[in-house]
């Protein structure tokens, strides 16, 4: 297992649209295992490939509690096939927006189709935190962050603080000259 570095905002790589996967092969299965390990280590409940610099439509998630057995899930080329008319508000966080949280409104229940790690097409119905998390991850595949779904005032406040944190970080990979 390899830990992958997680990209944090502001970074143009988080704003791009990820490309569909033609076929799941051993290389992508290794990437998904590394993404799961990276997500558990972070720790987070979901991770999308663009967050580790891979512009492919791949998502991993696991909503099991720390004291429970792990329930890893991988979604390849996920597509919403239905969203509820009813909305719900969750306080969201994002590994690419470290230490910032905000209330985000999204449909409360969804249905989606996706490929699993054996290239089988599957469908899933979700509500509660799972529905919110999946929508948050699907947004990453389209270059959308949760701050794009809140007021411009709150968004700019969070992005300004993240940029400031990056500017005071002296590690070369965090140099804004490279990431902006």
Does the protein bind ligand GNR through residue 48 (CB under 6 A)? yes
Q: Is the dihedral of CA 13, 75, 20, 54 positive or negative?
A: positive
Structure tokens at 153: 């005032």
Nearest to 24 by CA among 123, 112, 113, 118: 118
Residue with tokens 């092969």: 25
Q: Where are the alpha helices (DSSP H) in the chain?
A: 26-41, 128-141, 152-167, 176-179
User: How many residues of this chain bind ligand GNR (CB under 6 A)?
Assistant: 17
Partner that binds at residue 132, options Ni ion, ligand GNR, none, CB closer than 5 to 8 Å by kind? ligand GNR
Residue of 54, 56, 63, 93 interacting with ligand GNR (CB under 6 A): 93
- Closest residue (Cβ) to ligand GNR? 44
Does the protein bind ligand GNR through residue 31 (CB under 6 A)? no
Residue of 95, 110, 130, 158 interacting with ligand GNR (CB under 6 A): 95
Does the protein bind ligand GNR through residue 40 (CB under 6 A)? no
Q: Examine the residue annotation and report whether 37 is marked as an active-site residue of this protein.
A: no
Residue of 47, 110, 115, 130 interacting with ligand GNR (CB under 6 A): 47
Does the protein bind ligand GNR through residue 46 (CB under 6 A)? yes
The Cα–Cα gap between 76 and 58 comes to 5
**Phi, psi (deg, nearest 5) at residue 119:** 70, 15
The footprint of Ni ion on residues 60-119 (CB under 5 A) is 94
The footprint of ligand GNR on residues 124-163 (CB under 6 A) is 132-133, 136-137, 140
The Cα–Cα gap between 145 and 13 comes to 12
What single DSSP character describes residue 56?
Answer: B
Residues near ligand GNR (CB under 6 A): 44-48, 51, 90, 92-96, 132-133, 136-137, 140
């Amino acid at each position: 297992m390899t830990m992958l570095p997680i990209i944090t905002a502001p970074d143009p790589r988080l704003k791009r649209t990820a490309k569909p996967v033609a076929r799941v092969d051993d290389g992508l299965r290794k990437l998904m295992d590394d993404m799961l390990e990276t997500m558990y280590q972070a720790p987070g409940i979901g991770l999308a490939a663009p967050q580790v610099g891979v512009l492919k439509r791949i998502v991993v998630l696991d909503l099991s509690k720390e004291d429970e057995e792990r329930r890893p899930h991988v979604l390849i080329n996920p597509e919403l096939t239905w969203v509820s008319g009813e909305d719900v508000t969750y306080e969201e966080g994002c590994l690419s927006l470290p230490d910032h949280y905000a209330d985000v409104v999204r449909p409360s229940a969804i249905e989606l189709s996706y490929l699993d790690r054996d290239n089988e097409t599957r469908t899933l119905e979700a509500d509660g935190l799972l529905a919110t998390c999946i929508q948050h991850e699907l947004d990453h595949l389209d270059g959308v962050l949760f701050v794009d779904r809140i007021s411009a005032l709150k968004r700019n406040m969070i992005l300004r603080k993240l940029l400031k944190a990056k500017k005071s970080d002296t590690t070369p990979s965090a140099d804004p000259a490279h990431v902006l």
